Chains A and B, each alone.
Chain A
Amino acid sequence: MKARVTVTLKNGILDPQGKAIEGALKSLGVNGIASVRQGKVFDIELAGADKAKAEEALKAAADKLLANTVIENYRVEVL
C-alpha cells in the first residue's frame, strides 16, 4: 500500500524560500503566479493492508517526526 504525507507551512509563517522561488519565477517570465509557499512531500510504502491502521501509523509518523507542528500542517493520504 502506498501513501503520501504532505507537510506545508502554516498560514502566517514567513517562508523566505517560497518568496525567493516566487521571485525567480517572476524573473523567468512565468506569468500569473501570485505567490509560492514551499513544502515537503513524503512518499511512503506501507507493509500491511489495513487502511485504518495505515492512517494511524502515518499520523504518528507526522506528529512525531515528519512535521514540526509549531510551524507546519500535514495531510495524510493513503493512495
Chain B
Amino acid sequence: MSSWAAIIVEGAEGKLRAFVAGFLAGRQLPSTSVAFGCDLRLEHASLTERLRALLTGGHHLLLAPPELAPALREAIARGGPDVGLHAAGQHDISEAWFDIDATVYARDVAQTIRGVLAAVPHGARLEAYEEHEEVQPEYKAIELYTPVHDYRYRIHVRVIGAVGGVLAIRRELDRIEAVQLSPLHLRDGPLPTSASQEPGAPRKL
C-alpha cells in the first residue's frame, strides 16, 4: 500500500481548481478524488500572504492518492505552465488526523454523527473517544424565559490514520453543521507498518 502525496503547486487557486477538475473529468473520477489543502483548513496563511496570493497567485497544496499522484504531477508539469501553474514540490504523507467536537440537541443529528463514526473507513481509526448523552423529559416544553433542552449529546473524538479514510470521514462529517472540525494535520513520511489499530473505547465526557 503506497502513501498519499502532497503536491505543492504555485499559481492562482481558481486556475488550479479548474485544472484539477479537468484532470479528474478526463479520467471520469469524482471531484473528491483530489483534496485541496485550503478546503481542509490546512493552509495557515497570514493576511499579507493571502493578499499576495490573491494578487499574484500563491502556493497551494493538493492531496492525491497514490494511484493518481504521479499522473497529476506530470499533468501539472506538462500543461500547468500554459495557465500559470507550476509544481513546486511533492512529499509523501503517512498519516492524517483531525479532531471533532459537537454539542447537539437533536436526536437525529446525534444519530447521524454516530452513524458516520460507526462506519470508519479502512485505515482510519478513532482515538480519545468521549461522548455523553443526556435525556431529561421534564425539560420537554419549548419555553420563552426558562429554556432548557430535554436532550443533549456531546462528543469529542480524533480521527486518525490513512489519508484516504480520514478524508472520507471528514467529508461526511463536514456536511453536519453542528460538528466542529479542527484543521487537518498531516504527518510526512512513508506509511507506518502497523497503521490499522483498533478504535479507542468510548469514554464519558
Q: Do the two chains bind?
A: no
